[in-house]
Structure 1
Amino acid sequence: MAILFGVVAIVGVISWAIVKSDELSGIGRTVKKGSFRHPHGRLVATHCESAAEDVPYGARLLKRVPVFTSLLTLVVAIVGLVMEANGIVAGVVVVDVVASGVVVVLMAGECILRLAKGMQRFSVFIVVVFAGLLLSTACSMFATAMGGGAESFIVVVSRTVSSVAGCALGCALAAAAFREPARFKRRFEDGYENEIAVSPHSAVYKAYREFMVGKKAWESGRRQD
């Protein structure tokens, strides 16, 4: 589990750095055209295609809960526990897989699919996975502590169910933190244009607002003062 945490954390940091580098391309005092960070030179104009989502956190949370994968995981876990209780070796394997936190990938995947298209990024997926792993581990440890460290059938059931529930809740809480971003079109000094989605709470959003022009000015390629 520790290795899984480490891998997720490292991949998450790398993904975040790549996304931020792209967002900041063309912005700053030392923009050098053709460089790794600024391949197209300075940002000269932006146009807002759609505003950011304005939905309360609670409402977003209800929409992000991975209902399907959570129920599926619980059913598989219960079947595995029953098999284990009846001496079937395969049941032990099933329970170990469920308790290991690997199922967080499925739950996080469902949460990502429930997000707006603009937020369906790998970096967001990593954050959701990490949150699911964290809460899953915490709930599992709590259930074990409440059972006094015993390995009775009841304790194992409690720990497994707690792990699944914690994983689902962790993924949902993290996914709900991401709102549908504002979508901008960008134009750089070499004429290159593309679209990008940014959070309305980020410094990049404020910078893009400073470069923003109206639709007519955007289409004509002129900066609107």
Structure 2
Amino acid sequence: MMANLFSSFDPSTNWSTSLNWMSTLLGILIIPPMFWLIPSRINFMWNKILMSLHKEFLTLLGPKNKTAALTFITIFSLILFNNFLGLFPYIFTSTSHMVLTLTLALPLWLSFMLFGWLNNSIHMLAHLVPQGTPPVLMPFMVCIETISNLIRPGTLAIRLSANMIAGHLLMTLLGNTGTMLSTLMLNILIIVQILLLTLESAVAIIQSYVFAVLSTLYSSEVN
């Protein structure tokens, strides 16, 4: 039994070990057979989405950074897959944990910072003081910009995990009240749950897109 409401987010719930983290790698089992099947409408739609994202990322990064754009598309696909996977019953939502989101955000941010300060030090220093800042405010702007740079991996990780947890908690809270409702209220609850599930599907897409786009913007700043 679950000890409390947050036990549904515990990777070791109903398991003696943290085997639920294996749900993050389920996409590897699904992707290879797609290359041997006749392309379907779903495949064409997915390829269309990826090509649109690739063009958008190239606009932000520059036409020469095709490899970097593919990297951010891979991150988008990984987060999107795990977000949708968590909407199925009894499947662990790995993106609702800071362990996974920080694992994605922190190495990206560190690599951007190391590359920028080692190769474009003057450019990075210029970013600390926005153009047109009065001389009196320059020390304060340096402090503000430095703090905003330091908290970027935390904001990326918290934004993703908090949005995943919030929707799941709301659906769990409403679902637990189903046994105490009348038939009419139960029908209304089912309709509300379907609407919430639709909203969560939209959130799953939006949050993966936001994570990838913000990572792309952070990368474009150090070039």
Q: Give TM-score scaled by structure 2 length.
A: 0.34
TM-score, reference length from structure 1: 0.33
Bigger radius of gyration among the two: 1
- Structure holding more strand per residue: 1
